[in-house]
């Protein structure tokens, strides 16, 4: 019995790692044509700033108070905050971090059935994630970190910024 449980747990870990490597999302080269609906200091990362963009499908559905449809895309330009000579984050007179170098482009996309294969603690409805370098190359990052952070947000369609999309 212990061996069966160990094998099942091992399979679950292997399946999660395989899903983390699945490349369903392509770099949205046209994302700058999306609406930039929010820019802010990232709460989870004390040294980052994020600019959020959403495609028309996401903006329209959120504005009408509907569930975001398949094909909705949210893009986050993740910037490192500027730092002083001692490595401390520099803030403006408004207390906001000052944007430095573009570090990565994070993408959330919703696709039909995309959430079915994930264990419960990584399910985000049918949203999935990808991270790219500023020049559009896929970065080898642990996407389960993104999945587990967004998973508890079922009340807001797994988005931290749904109310900003709805305007």
| Per-residue H/E/C for the chain | CHHHHHHHHHHHHHHHHHHHHCCCCCCCCCHHHCEEEEEEECCCCCCEEEEEEECHHHHHHHHCCCCCCCCCEEEEEEEEECECCCCCECECCCCCECEEEEEEEEEEEECCCCCCCCCHHHCECEEEEEEECCCCCECCCCHHHHHHHHCCCHHHCCCCCHHHHHC
pTM, to two decimals: 0.85
pLDDT at 28: 97
Give the structural domain span for 130. 2-166
Examine the pLDDT at 81 and tell me if it is beyond 80: yes
pLDDT at 148: 94
Give me the number of domains the chain comprises: 1
pLDDT tens digits, one per residue of 108-158: 999 999 999 999 999 999 999 999 999 999 999 999 999 999 999 999 999
pLDDT band at 51 (very low <50, low <70, confident <90, very high): very high
Examine the pLDDT at 7 and tell me if it is beyond 70: no
pLDDT at 21: 57
Q: What is the CATH number of the domain that holds 133?
A: 3.50.70.20
């Amino acid at each position: 019995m212990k061996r069966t449980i160990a094998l099942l747990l091992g399979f679950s870990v292997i399946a999660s790692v395989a899903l983390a490597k699945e490349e369903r999302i392509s770099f949205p080269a046209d994302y700058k044509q999306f609406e930039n609906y929010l820019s802010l200091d990232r709460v989870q990362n004390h040294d980052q700033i994020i600019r959020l963009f959403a495609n028309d499908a996401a903006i329209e559905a959120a504005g009408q108070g509907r569930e975001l449809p398949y094909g909705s895309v949210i893009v986050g330009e993740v910037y490192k905050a500027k730092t002083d000579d001692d490595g401390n984050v520099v803030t403006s007179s408004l207390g906001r971090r000052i944007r430095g170098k573009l570090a990565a482009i994070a993408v959330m996309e919703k696709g039909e059935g995309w959430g079915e294969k994930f264990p419960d603690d990584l399910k985000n409805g049918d949203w999935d994630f990808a991270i790219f370098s500023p020049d559009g190359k896929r970065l080898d990052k642990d996407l389960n970190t993104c999945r587990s952070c967004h998973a508890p947000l079922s009340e807001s369609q797994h988005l931290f910024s749904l109310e900003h999309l709805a305007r």
